[in-house]
Structure 1
Amino acid sequence: MLRPSSPRLRLVRGIGAAAAAVALASGLTACGGDAEATGPASSGKVTVGAVSNGAAKEAELAAPVVESLRAQLPAEVRDRGELVIGVGALPAGFPPLAYVGTDQRTLTGAEPDLGRLVAATLGLEPVLKNSTWENLFLGIDSGKVDVAFTNVTITEERKKKYEFASYRQDNLAFEVLKDNPWNFGGDYRNLAGRTVSVSPGTNQEKILLEWQKKLRAEGKDITVKYFPDANSVALALSGKKIDVNFGPNPSIAYHVTQTASSSTPTRNAGSVSGAGESLQGLIAATAKKDSGLAKPVAEAINHLIKEGQYGRLLAAWNLSNEAVTTSEVDPPGLPLTNS
């Protein structure tokens, strides 16, 4: 997610809008206001994928406290015994990343689940605060939120106010019918002759139109289609009115799980960095600059990567193709010219 002035924010708003239609249909709407949910006690185990409405395969993961990592926490947080985790999923949430589950109470999704795992590893009680995207950053700024796990993209602009611990690639993906053999293959030229849907005003549209311009210079073309909502895109894909849907990888991962048992299942046919070809965009846990939280959070994520819980979490949410090999503190972010 990026700032409101950026088309990259509209990309993630696209996730919210697309997922909201599905969420509302499934009864997964969130409550209004700053909803607060406290996770389970730090018992050394975290259940991921709970009440997910089929978006994830529920699994219980071991997450014992690592005292050497706990010792790295700022004294104030360690003594409090809680990690206040901010999630900007109001009003409707965005499966599979963050939304209210089928019990109409539990904040579920890959983001809060990772936050719970990190808190458990650091020996802290996870306290999840769900808010709007704008209020999420106000919470960090005011100290009411320790760290955000909510699909925040690292940018050089944001580094002026925040510190980061990366945990997932920021990718766009190509969705096709399962019986369609086409794959992106990392080369925009493979899109030549295809009919592709994309949401207007988004980063993926910008990238797609740049590819179209290059193809036209080579005497080839892409047919670009626009639809008013996610349901219309799904109907166009199942009805073969389009060949490919190009959108945020998480929303496509979610739709793949939802179509798996239908008569027209879909699949992910490849991905590309949301930052474009020159830089791999990264999603990161976000804390106030100089809070001292990014390093222990990164070390906790690296522990979870090494021990395998991280991989199992992403697999449960069908997001394995966004895995990072290492969590880094303040790695290169989108430059000012692209953020």
Structure 2
Amino acid sequence: MSRTVLRPRRPAAIVALGAALALSACTSSAEIEADQRAGSASDAASEAAGSTPLSVDTSPEQADRVRTDEAPDAAALVPADIGEDGVLTVGVNGSGEPPLGFLADDNATVVGSEVDVAQLVADALGLELEVVNTSWEQWPLGVQSGDLEAVFSNVGVNAERLQLFDFATYRQGIMAFTARTGSGLTIEEPADIAGLTLAVGSGTNQERILLDWTAQNEAAGLEPATLEYYAVASDALLGVQSGRIDAYLGPNPNAVYQESVNAEVEVVGTVNAGWPNTTYVAATTLKGNGLVEAFEAALQHAFDDGSYAATLERWGLSDEAVDEPVVNPPVGS
């Protein structure tokens, strides 16, 4: 059994909450090995500081996965045509890095926090979980065609998607600023990025936030930030480590992981992907097929028995917990 050691998440100021949809990168075997070596050094430093590292299973067997029991009231809500085969088929993007969705040590099995949440839902509904490795670009078609009954893949709720899909929320999607360790930076508001050079993915929510913040700063007479565009997160992080980039804005879960395995970077602030509004990450299914009510009840069961909180804690994502699942939450609130 292989394990990656994660240091406990250092609290970061939360500017707002939201749906993290953006840049992620495939991690090669060489990069994973390098990250694990860096993680060993980081773990040693953490132990020296008196904190306890969190050990996460990266094997395909997932012996540490948190499970729950069947909730008959939730199971009764599953539409007959969906539940008749006894299987819940969900799409998860396995091309990223921990903790959301990534390939286990066998380079074939999709594991991660998104799979674990889907497992809780399947358990509560009395269904067997079938995970399909689905690219980000293909999940909408997969759901609309019926090949996927649902998607658990860091999908954020927005007005456009609400026209086609139903959602049951289970996590805040927070964006995080990652900087070089010891930089002294704290990024909590627009004024904090004045004059900085920031890495970001083109066409992402993060880019929109940084452009909005920069426009606000310029209107206030502050120096604008300089944006550097990266298609791959690992390249942006190399820029941060080398000092070419002051900070990189990307999905918080990936930032938490990088902070845990790479002693040279740290999270220095967070912001809502829908800033200045609040959005959420949710289980996604075809609009009107009746499954979303079952998902809401299944998630509530996992919330009530503690398996939901334990699952987020397992992956260092307790900061992104929500109080309760909500079906099709209002956007722009």
TM value normalised by structure 2: 0.78
Partner of 2:212: 210
Partner of 1:40: none
Q: Where does structure 1 lack aligned partners over 5 or more consecutive residues? A: 1-10, 28-47
On the 8 A contact 1:170/1:273 being kept in 2, the answer is yes
Provide closer, same or farther for how the CA distance between residues 178 and 315 of structure 1 changes in structure 2, counting only shifts above 3 A: farther
Q: Which of residues 303, 319, 322 in structure 1 aligns to 2:320?
A: 322
Q: Which of residues 14, 19, 37 in structure 1 aligns to 2:23?
A: 14
Note the 1:135-214 alignment, pairs <5 A. 135-185=138-188, 187-214=189-216
Amino acid paired to 1:268? V
SS at match of 1:329: coil
Partner of 2:72: 67
Provide closer, same or farther for how the CA distance between residues 134 and 204 of structure 1 changes in structure 2, counting only shifts above 3 A: closer
Q: Where does structure 2 lack aligned partners over 5 or more consecutive residues? A: 1-19, 34-54
How far is 1:52 from its partner? 6.2
Partner of 1:87: 92
SS at match of 2:271: strand
Partner of 1:26: 32
On the 8 A contact 2:101/2:113 being kept in 1, the answer is yes
Partner of 1:292: 290
How far is 1:172 from its partner? 1.4
On the 8 A contact 2:309/2:321 being kept in 1, the answer is yes
Query: Does 1:247 pair with 2:255?
Result: no
Which has the higher relative contact order, 1 or 2, with Cα contacts under 8 A spaced 6 or more apart? 2
How far is 1:160 from its partner? 2.1
Partner of 1:36: none
Provide closer, same or farther for how the CA distance between residues 173 and 120 of structure 1 changes in structure 2, counting only shifts above 3 A: same
- Between the two proteins, what is the percent identity of the paired residues? 31
Give the CA RMSD over aligned residues.
2.7
Partner of 1:304: 302
How far is 1:206 from its partner? 1.9
Q: How many pairs does the alignment contain?
A: 291
TM value normalised by structure 1: 0.77
For residues 35-79 of structure 1, give each alpha carbon's deviation from its aligned partner in whole angstroms, at most 9, with x where no partner exists: xxxxxxxxxxxxx954269xxx97342411111211222123333
Distance in 1, matches of 2:180 and 2:31, equals 22
On the 8 A contact 1:73/1:296 being kept in 2, the answer is yes
Partner of 2:3: none
Provide closer, same or farther for how the CA distance between residues 82 and 117 of structure 1 changes in structure 2, counting only shifts above 3 A: same
Moved more, 58-67 or 78-87: 58-67
Amino acid paired to 1:271? T
On the 8 A contact 1:88/1:131 being kept in 2, the answer is yes
